[in-house]
Amino acid sequence: MSKAVSVFLAVLFCLVLRSSYCKGSKILVLPHDWSHWINMKVILEELHSRGHEITVLYSTKSWFIPNNSSIYTSIHIPSLLNDLDPDFYVTMMQDVTGLLVSLASEVLQDKVLIKKLRDTKFDLMLTDPAFPMGVILGGYLKLPMVFNVRWINNGESHQSIAPSPVSYAPVSGSELHDQMDFLERTKNMLHYLYNLYELYVVIKPTYTDLFHKYFPPGTDLVSLELSADIWLFRADFIFEFPRPTMPNMVYIGGFQCKEAQPLPDELEAFMQSSGEHGVVVMSLGTVVSALPHGITEDIAAAFAELPQKVIWRFDGEKPSTLGKNTKLVKWLPQNDLLGHPKTKVFIAHGGTNGMYEAIYHGVPVLGLPLLFDQFDNLLRMKVRGAARVVEVRSLTKDNFLEALKDILENPSYRENSQRLSKLHRDRPMSSMDTSIFWIEYVIRNKGASHLQSAGFSLPWYSYFCMDVAVFVLAITGTSIWGFIFVCRLLYCKKSSKTIKPE
């Protein structure tokens, strides 16, 4: 009995030691705004619950990041939003890179802020590198860095860190899948070359003066990004196409998803009133609040012909064609609605968060892509038989209604969605636990440089062995030339001997 107790106490001691090993660590966080904040916030809540001290750098003009929070300390810094209006994500100002450089310079010049950050002695920088301010500040402070990442600079982060053969790894923005014919591979290659041009000709040189002033020689934006210890990539291969990866690329797709919670009484009553037909849920995310008036009229008219009930996140003028079966709301508990057994279809713009919530709960999608990665995201769902896509610019009442009825009446969409959900949930540990493990791993080990590839430090000609190819060709050419020279020399000697007797 005493032996069993001893073993139990030993195991308990190890568990307590392991759980408390990183508690009290100081984590500096520079998040990205908009829907990216949703992804960062859930990680910060979990880190706070484990006893970590969190400091968030934020702007008072942030749209989603609160100024005060019970889970972190706030420090104000200037923001890109100081110079941009709320339509930034739609208009995308051309000089955004220049503004980002100015922002970084302003922060690094603030000696009081930098001293405060240095004196705090942070253990880690956690940042979303969609905008590189966090990368630059983390590198300047020489902190171990963990990225909570999907996008970086000019495209998807996966392409930045891992080998991405264009023959089967589609470039972001190409709207291609991994089964490409010759013309599609050509299109993919052109997208790849354009991304390289944008990164090395347009973006990287803009930061040259900044790095010359504040960083050791040889440091640039790309090398600083590649020096991050762990990349927590907000995707996984249930959603992404299979491709090469790297040891410090950790897949956490859907980490923000959770089991559905009970709905408010009024909303639950609406869901139950749908009977056997069920409910269609529509939301276009946080960036675009409403579609053009004519499009919303067509969508509302199509909804009015359905036997299903519809709950539509909508902010704008009420469509005149709205049917009695449709409920308009300015906000909805999206995750809880998608997890409700009455939900039959999710109509969405194709944002990553919404797609993973649909996968998590096994709900088929009717996609209305509007911006950025949404087209590629919905293509991935469509290829897997879990979605249909209607282009907004060509949307009519008839083609929208046809696509919606197809998903509602064809059981293959729901079957495929539920299969994706089963695969997504079948893992040794949750995506959130995986995220926290690797963040604490970097803190415990003061970095993870042993997981970084040596290929990052190679010049392009060495990476592709162009120098080796030139050397081999030179040796081969020299050998062939020498052989021919000797043969000609021997032939000439033989010819001269033959001529002399004659």
Question: What's the pLDDT score for residue 119?
Answer: 92
- What mean pLDDT value characterizes the chain? 85
pLDDT of residue 281: 94
**pTM, full prediction:** 0.84
pLDDT tens, residue by residue, 59-96: 777 777 877 788 888 888 876 554 445 444 444 444 67
Q: pLDDT confidence of 17, banded at 50, 70, 90?
A: very low
- Tokens (6 digits) for 44: 């910060």
469 has which bridge partners?
none
Q: Which amino acid type is present at position 442?
A: V
**What would the 3-class secondary structure string for 28-64 be?**
EEECCCCHHHHHHHHHHHHHHHCCCEEEEEECCCCCC
Strand partners, 220: none
Ramachandran quadrant class, 131 (left: phi over 0; alpha: psi -120 to 50; beta: rest): beta
Phi-psi region for residue 403, left (φ > 0), alpha (ψ -120 to 50) or beta?
A: alpha
For domain 26-255+446-457, give the fold.
Rossmann fold (3.40.50)
Sign of CA pseudo-dihedral 460, 464, 470, 471: positive
At residue 94, the pLDDT reads: 45
- Structure confidence at residue 90 (pLDDT): 43
Residue 416's pLDDT band, with cuts at 50, 70 and 90, is very high
**DSSP 8-state assignment for residue 179:** S
What pLDDT band is residue 486 in, cutting at 50, 70 and 90?
confident
Q: Is 147 helix (H, G, I), strand (E, B) or coil?
A: strand
Higher pLDDT, 202 or 28: 28
| Joined tokens for residue 471 | 């050397």
- Alpha-carbon gap, residue 376 to 382, rounded angstroms: 10
In one-letter notation, the amino acid at residue 3 is: K
Q: Which pLDDT does position 4 carry in this prediction?
A: 54
Start-end of CATH 3.40.50.2000 domains in the chain: 265-425
Is residue 175 within 8 A of residue 143, CB to CB? The reply is no
Domain with CATH 3.40.50.20 in the chain: 26-255+446-457
Nearest to 35 by CA among 250, 253, 238, 256: 256
Between 452 and 496, the more confident residue is 452
> What would the mean pLDDT of 143-148 be, rounded to a whole number?
95
Per-residue pLDDT band at 15 (split at 50, 70, 90): very low
Buried b (16+ CB within 10 A) or exposed e, 81-92: beebeeebeeee
Q: Is 61 exposed, middle or buried (0-12, 13-18, 19+ CB in 10 A)?
A: middle
Residue position matching structure tokens 């970095």 = 447
Give the span between the Cα atoms of 354 and 92, in whole angstroms: 22
Backbone angles phi, psi at 222, to 5 degrees: -65, -45
CA-to-CA distance for 459 and 469, rounded, in angstroms? Answer: 15
Statement: residue 14 has pLDDT above 50: no
Cβ atoms 126, 28 nearer than 8 A: yes
Task: Lay out the sheet containing 387-389: strands in order across.
Answer: 326-329, 309-313, 279-283, 343-348, 365-367, 387-389
Q: What is the pLDDT of residues 436-475, one digit of tens each?
A: 999 999 999 999 989 988 888 888 888 888 889 999 999 9
Model pLDDT, residue 89: 44
Say whether pLDDT at 290 is over 80. no
The residue behind tokens 């020279």 is: 485
* Residue 171, amino acid: V
pLDDT, average across residues 224-249: 92
Confidence of residue 494 (pLDDT cuts 50, 70, 90): low
Residue 249 pLDDT greater than 70, yes or no: yes
Tokens of 407: 């998903």
Alpha helix (H) ranges present in 110-199? 111-120, 133-141, 157-161, 182-197
CA distance 121 to 307: 61
Residue 286 has a pLDDT of: 61
pLDDT at site 480:
92
Burial class (CB in 10 A: 0-12, 13-18, 19+), 482: exposed
Q: What count of Cα atoms within 13 Å lies in the side-chain half-sphere of residue 167?
A: 2
User: What are 177-236's pLDDT values in tens digits?
Assistant: 889 999 999 999 999 999 888 888 888 888 999 999 999 998 889 989 999 999 999 998
32 confidence band (pLDDT: 50, 70, 90): confident
CB 325 within 8 A of CB 304: yes
Distance (Å, whole) CA 37 – CA 22:
24
Contact 118, 99 (CB under 8 A): no
Per-residue pLDDT, 419: 95
Of 194, 129, 147, 198, the C-alpha closest to 166 is 194
Residue 25 has pLDDT above 80, yes or no: yes
Report residue 326 CA to chain centroid gap: 33
Token pair 């999710």: residue: 346
Q: 265-425 adopts what CATH topology? A: Rossmann fold (3.40.50)
High-pLDDT (> 70) share of the chain, %: 89
Q: Which of 117, 118, 135 is nearest to 30 (CA)?
A: 135
Average pLDDT over residues 139-155: 90
Structure tokens at 272: 């139950």
